[in-house]
Amino acid sequence: MSLSQKIKEIPHTPGVYLMKDSAGQVIYVGKSKQLRKRVQSYFRSSSTHTSKVRKLVKHIRDVEIMETDTEFEAFMLEWQLIQKIRPQYNRQMKTPEAFLYLTVRKIGKLYRIRMSTQPLRGDDGWSFGPYTNKKTVSRAIRGLKDVYRLQCSNPAINGSPCLNYSLGLCRGICLGGKAVGEYNEIVEQLASLLNGEDSSLLEDMQGQMTELAEELAFERAAQYRNYIQSLQSLLQKEEVMDFTEGNHVMVVAEQLQEEKVKLFLIRRTDVLFSEVFEVGSSESEDMLAKIKSQVWSWLNGVVSEAGAQVQQVSRYEIDKAQIIYSYLRSGKCRYAMISSNELDGLERMLERLIE
């Protein structure tokens, strides 16, 4: 069967597609909630394609499809296959060594904000991350320094004004005095923001952006908007990691059709169990009993130890953690957290999720 004919027969379902070259090697893995539409898009007009996509298409000789019941499963399967196969044309989620941390540590009288491939050890400052987008981290740091004039080119604090001070980019940190305290206070506010303790820094930047827009300084307001979006992205990542570090066990249900439901049991970043069943059918009670039995066996083994120890999210987990966190908040599913003292209510919980 020709490649074009095979593409025409791809179903309109969620799933993962594997692009292969003439040697049968998988060179790209992707996912979509509508497989045929997504795969066909590669072979249409290339005017809007990036150079990477155009180069990829030249080498595609075959496509393999793996269907899933839900888009969530397609995301998870894509992640697993990329980790296993490491295709040539995949860049995201391929090299966890490229993940970054934003670190804050006091050196002398000043806090220093850095990007690092490793978190700080012990209590020597703060570490946030890992983050997967270097551009986002860099823009967030640059934005903080730009908005609050923290770009001192002579942080030795020797009483001599630096070049950036004369340009209006430094608030006088190099001169010492109250500017040093102001600088440190702003950096502490950044740490409080990313720790989820205080959002005043973000609110202040949003207020300044609004004032710039009212003054018709639209270009400068757009810069502030980009800075704010970068900070919000980092903040969301921290929320994902805080949620994941809770070692939650949860039951998740997604409606597939009018009477069909997909049920998942998820612990932390692992899907321990999943199955589709038909609600209201003659076999639904037996199916539900089977699911309860399987879920119960899993829970007996995992709930008791789920909260035993807080474990930081590793760089190998971060993408899975983001997928699960986004899914739970997407509105596409219903979920309930399980703890050891709720095992007796498992039956009621399952019935509530699928009713």
Query: Domains (ranges, CATH) in the chain?
Result: 3-93 (3.40.1440.10), 97-244 (no CATH), 246-354 (no CATH)
Residue 139 class from Cβ within 10 Å (0-12 exposed, 13-18 middle, 19+ buried)?
Answer: buried
pLDDT (0 to 100) of residue 242: 84
**277: which strand partners?**
261
First CA to last CA distance, the chain: 44
- Tens digit of each residue's pLDDT, the chain (355 residues): 788 888 888 999 999 999 999 999 999 999 999 999 999 999 887 777 888 888 888 999 999 999 999 999 999 999 999 989 989 888 654 444 557 889 999 888 889 999 988 888 767 789 888 887 888 999 999 999 999 999 988 877 778 888 898 899 999 898 888 999 999 999 999 999 998 899 999 999 999 999 999 999 999 999 999 999 999 999 888 888 888 888 888 888 898 887 788 888 888 888 988 888 777 666 556 666 766 676 666 666 655 555 455 677 777 788 888 899 989 988 899 888 876 555 556 666 666 666 6
d(CA 124, CA 116): 14
Tell me what pLDDT residue 93 has. 45
Alpha-carbon span 95 to 77, nearest angstrom: 17
Q: What is the pLDDT of residue 90?
A: 84
Q: What is the per-residue pLDDT for 27?
A: 93
In whole angstroms, give the CA distance from residue 297 to residue 295.
Answer: 5
The reply to whether omega before 130 is within 30° of 0 (cis) is: yes
The one-character DSSP state at 121 is: P
Report which of 238, 349, 237 is spatially closest to residue 295, judged by C-alpha positions: 349
Q: Which DSSP string corresponds to 32-90?
A: ESSHHHHHHHHTS-GGGS-HHHHHHHHH--EEEEEE-SSHHHHHHHHHHHHHHH--TT-
